């Protein structure tokens, strides 16, 4: 933060994405200027010298951990200028004083804690930011409250919601545009142990999975625009009907193991947290079209009369195998087409000879 920078953009952005203009501010050495808040909104500058940690350790799996030692000698994971836990592939987690904070924008955006501020109601908010080549990323983390994410002054986040409320509800924003991925109106009837979930798009009749699949394909396109599904990913949606039930099977393609798998897990194909969240949310999109019974006395089950959604992200090996099978099928079709053309060009006598009739 030693260089002076001038940032432009709205000083504040309300929950509807409306920007409220303010005069440009110039950052002085050692201070922080937000794209979405004015200088007057901030409290004291938080010290980020050495990131606030005093010990760095790397374990046998290549994971780097940053610790802060307290006066009593106890240690806690802590870092103010990046991930307190960093995996071999560059991914990691933000932590302060041993407390898990929030999910980052992406592994290549290393946020730094710039300010903390306590308002008149005693609510403490942390302001994390990252600047590069004239662009900014910000996370405003209200402790015990709302988490908000911005990019260049606009509500924005890819792969996760840009606004997360304390009750777990989410708002999806991309480049200042809000996307309502999940329809309102989901209902849960019952107690904490047993009950029935009815999706907001469930019409009360036995669902036809073929029609549901058609709607899901459109929903996924919308979810991709919102940033839930990576732009370069593709998917297939298939259905299956059998005695006593039906199911919808989704396979996400176009993503590499480096993007979707977790290097810290011993299982070679274990999903990383972000991909696991994506799959769970995509299943939730599908489940909006059905009803499901929850029996806490046993396993989580879905009532007959609805359907079971399956969402799976293909591995590199899956995609290589699928590509090889597609190439074989293509070659087989080409050979059949060639043979058909050759037969069509043969005379009656040539065909008879080829068949051994003459």
- For residue range 283-293, list pLDDT tens digits in order: 999 999 988 77
Q: Does residue 78 sit in the same domain as residue 101?
A: yes
pLDDT at 62: 82
Q: How confident is the model at residue 162 (pLDDT cuts 50, 70, 90)?
A: very high
Q: By residue range, what is the domain housing residue 198?
A: 187-314
Query: Is the pLDDT at 310 greater than 70, yes or no?
Result: yes
Q: Does residue 129 sit in the same domain as residue 193?
A: no
Summarize the confidence of residues 183-188 as an average pLDDT.
Answer: 80
Q: Does residue 75 sit in the same domain as residue 133?
A: yes
Query: Is the pLDDT at 25 greater than 70, yes or no?
Result: no
Residue 143 or residue 265, greater confidence? 143
Query: Is the pLDDT at 86 greater than 70, yes or no?
Result: yes
Residue 227 or residue 272, greater confidence? 227
> Hunting for tokens 């195998």 — which residue is that?
321
What token pair was written down for 210?
């073929």
What token pair was written down for 110?
């290393």
pLDDT at 333: 95
Query: Is the pLDDT at 10 greater than 70, yes or no?
Result: no
Query: Is the pLDDT at 181 greater than 60, yes or no?
Result: yes
pLDDT at 13: 31
d(CA 195, CA 301) in angstroms, rounded, equals 11
pLDDT at 90: 73
Q: Does residue 64 sit in the same domain as residue 209?
A: no
What token pair was written down for 44?
């004291």
Q: Does residue 125 sit in the same domain as residue 265?
A: no
Residue 269 or residue 201, greater confidence? 201
Q: Does residue 254 sit in the same domain as residue 290?
A: yes
Q: Does residue 322 sit in the same domain as residue 293?
A: no
Compute CA 6 distance to the chain's CA centroid, rounded to the nearest angstrom.
32
Q: Does residue 197 sit in the same domain as residue 133?
A: no
Q: By C-alpha distance, which of 322, 236, 313 is closest to 279?
A: 313
Q: What percent of the chain has pLDDT over 70?
A: 79
Does the global pTM surpass 0.75? Answer: no
Q: By C-alpha distance, which of 272, 275, 263, 259 is closest to 316?
A: 259
User: Which segment of 10-24, 74-88, 211-225, 264-278 scores lowest on mean pLDDT?
Assistant: 10-24
> Hunting for tokens 């804690």 — which residue is that?
113
pLDDT at 342: 84
Can you state the angle between helices 273-287 and 209-226, rounded to 10 degrees?
Answer: 140
pLDDT at 172: 95
Total domains in the fold of the chain: 3
- Classify residue 129 by burial, with Cβ atoms within 10 Å: 0-12, 13-18, 19+: buried
Q: Does residue 281 sit in the same domain as residue 252?
A: yes
Q: Does residue 297 sit in the same domain as residue 326?
A: no
Picking from 156, 179, 202, the residue at the C-terminal end of a domain is 179
d(CA 53, CA 68) in angstroms, rounded, equals 4
Contacts of 200 (CB under 8 A, 6+ apart): 182, 183, 184, 185, 186, 288
Picking from 122, 151, 179, the residue at the C-terminal end of a domain is 179
Contacts of 208 (CB under 8 A, 6+ apart): none
pLDDT at 15: 28
Asked if 306 contacts 218 with a C-beta cutoff of 8 angstroms, the reply is no
How far CA 47 is from CA of 53, 115, 179, 265, 267, in Å, comes to 11, 9, 37, 34, 39
Asked if 297 contacts 193 with a C-beta cutoff of 8 angstroms, the reply is yes
Phi, psi of 352 (to 5 degrees): -65, -40
Picking from 136, 159, 179, the residue at the C-terminal end of a domain is 179
Summarize the confidence of residues 228-248 as an average pLDDT.
Answer: 94
Q: Does residue 130 sit in the same domain as residue 240?
A: no
Q: How confident is the model at residue 31 (pLDDT cuts 50, 70, 90)?
A: very low
How many CB atoms sit inside 10 A of residue 271's CB?
18
Q: Does residue 308 sit in the same domain as residue 333?
A: no
Q: How confident is the model at residue 177 (pLDDT cuts 50, 70, 90)?
A: very high
What token pair was written down for 33?
């200027």
pLDDT digits (tens, 9 = 90+) for 98-114: 877 777 777 677 788 88
d(CA 34, CA 130) in angstroms, rounded, equals 10
């Amino acid at each position: 933060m030693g260089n002076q920078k001038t940032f432009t953009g709205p000083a504040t952005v309300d929950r509807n994405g409306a920007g409220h203009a303010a005069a440009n501010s110039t950052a002085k050495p050692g201070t922080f200027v937000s794209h979405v808040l004015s200088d007057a909104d901030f409290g004291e500058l938080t010290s980020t010298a050495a990131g606030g940690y005093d010990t760095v350790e790397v374990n046998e799996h290549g994971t780097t951990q940053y610790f802060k030692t307290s006066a009593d000698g106890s240690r806690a994971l802590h870092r103010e200028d990046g991930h307190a836990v960093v995996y071999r592939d560059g991914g990691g987690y933000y932590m302060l004083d041993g407390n898990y904070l929030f999910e980052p924008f992406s592994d290549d955006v290393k946020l730094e804690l710039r300010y903390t501020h306590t308002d008149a109601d005693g609510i403490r908010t942390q302001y994390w930011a990252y600047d590069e080549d004239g662009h900014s990323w910000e996370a405003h983390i209200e402790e015990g409250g709302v988490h908000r994410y911005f990019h260049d002054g606009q509500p924005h986040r890819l792969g996760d919601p840009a606004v997360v409320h304390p009750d777990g509800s989410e708002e999806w924003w991309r480049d200042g545009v809000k996307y309502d991925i999940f329809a309102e109106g989901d209902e849960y009837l019952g107690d904490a142990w047993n009950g029935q979930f009815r999706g907001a798009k469930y019409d009360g009749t036995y669902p036809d999975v073929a029609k549901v699949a058609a709607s899901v394909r459109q929903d996924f396109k919308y979810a991709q625009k919102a940033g839930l599904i990576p732009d370069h990913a593709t998917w297939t949606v298939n259905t299956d009907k059998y005695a006593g039930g039906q199911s919808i099977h989704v396979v996400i393609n176009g993503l590499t193991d480096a993007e979707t798998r977790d290097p810290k897990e011993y299982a070679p194909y274990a999903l990383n947290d972000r991909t696991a969240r994506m799959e769970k949310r995509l299943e939730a999109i599908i489940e909006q079209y059905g009803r499901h019974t929850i029996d806490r006395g046993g396993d989580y089950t879905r009532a007959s009369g609805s359907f079971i959604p399956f969402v799976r992200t293909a591995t590199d090996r899956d995609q290589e195998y699928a590509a090889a099978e597609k190439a074989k099928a293509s070659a087989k079709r080409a050979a059949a087409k060639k043979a058909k053309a050759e037969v069509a060009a043969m005379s009656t006598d040539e065909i008879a000879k080829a068949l051994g009739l003459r």
